[in-house]
Structure 1
Amino acid sequence: MVIPVSHTLKSGAVLDPVPFDPSKSFYFGRNAFYSKDHYAIDYYVDCFATGTLIDTASGPRPVETLQAGDRVETRDHGPQPLLWAGSCRVDAARMDLQPNLRPVRVAAGALAPGCPARDLVLSPQHRVLVRSSIALRMFDTPEVLVAVKHLVGLPGIEVLTPPEGVGYHHLLFAGHEVVRSDGAWTESLFLGPQAMKGLDPSARREVMALFPELAAQDAMPRPARQLLCGREGRKLAERHGRNRKPLVEPVSETALPLLPA
């Protein structure tokens, strides 16, 4: 239900309510959108942009060509069968109304020399693998997953507003996996509460059919790596920028040199 109400500005002026016209589109703040054909409350979901090359058992393939049954290379468990692939498209008008849907570009070499191998475009909440001595010092583990939006501002990582819109694609496995996309390690779809809310109803039904245990209120899949919250991710990015260290270091957990905080 939409109820028009008056609004008082800080100056004291009162704005009269605008009559609600169901034939028009409205934006109700950060996450809600209404049009005569669509209503959605958008939460953050991890997605690959159309054209992203995913390493599979048969070589790199565009993400939009993958389907259930294809075997995708994972960092921890080798080739794993894809259980479900979903997609959606966000046009420029919707990105203008909902800036949180704008994709983030990680330029070639922005994480480390040669990583990614070419420009990688992800949804803002999609997590990338950071492996570094700074992560080890901060979180007692060298490898963590960080939402790419928290890395924006580091050299080569920026928000895009493509005029043609963007296609987003989800890849789901039996467990949370780390896969190689355009030469960088990134996460597969993580079925946490926010991700489930972010799927459209038909996609949510398909996922629930595959994982009925997610219906339990306290159901929480095991993440492939420690997932950093926003504050942690931004602090990690700030330290990497200050120390001018790559986000991906080619070193093992037992041989990481500690850097000053």
Structure 2
Amino acid sequence: MQGALQAGGWGLLAGSALVMGALVGFLVPVPAPIVASVMAFGSGVLLSAVSFDLIAEAHEKGGLTPTAIGAVIGAVLYAGANAVLAWRGARHRKRSGGQQPSEEQQPGSGSAIALGALLDGVPESIVIGTSLLGGGAVSLVTVVAVFISNVPEGLSSASGMRRAGRGRGYVFGLWTGIAVISALAAVSGYTVLGGASAGVLAGITALAGGAILTMIADTMIPEAYEDTHLLTGLIMVVGFLAAFALSHA
């Protein structure tokens, strides 16, 4: 019970960054280059977490085959779901400019954006929960990486939602709900997978890593590149090294 509560608390902490970012993005006119720079930094942090905390851990637990299979399945599932949601109007859910369609322009796009946000957040939270299995400590690098990346995600998306004419209740209701679901996903990762074998855990961890890596490429980097251009790679490397240093502290 204590482990499940810890998993939920860490998942809620990471998910709360979405609400913080949304609060800033909806209420404060943050310049697009700043949003893009933070998004680039968050992308670098997540890339480091996927490389050294998820994929490396999966390989250590189960070897190359479960890791590779899990990562590919995660990438395929995310890309497929993301393609469907993009068709329904959620393609630019992380964009802060005027790319997001309003409900009048594309009916149902609001629901698609909500599902897209859920798609982005659940794999990260499940990994947070699984990191506590066996009585171990939570993966601090993963929590920090998810938290840092969630701030610009909430900020950018909320700014775009405001431009698309969506109200305050929709925006904050969405991100608060996703934060709560993130906590539940972390609890599920801890409880449902508690008796799983090392190979299964390796596959699940790699699946989440593959999904997150695909999410970075499909949704975060395009927003970062939109306004930072030649600085995108440099800022990403800084974020990558910051997370790498934390994992080896």
Range class of TM-score, shorter chain: under 0.3
Q: Which has the higher helix share?
A: 2
- Between structure 1 and structure 2, the one with the greater Rg is 1
| Structure of greater relative contact order (alpha carbons < 8 Å, 6+ residues apart) | 2
TM normalised by structure 1 equals 0.26
Give the TM-score, by structure 2 length: 0.27
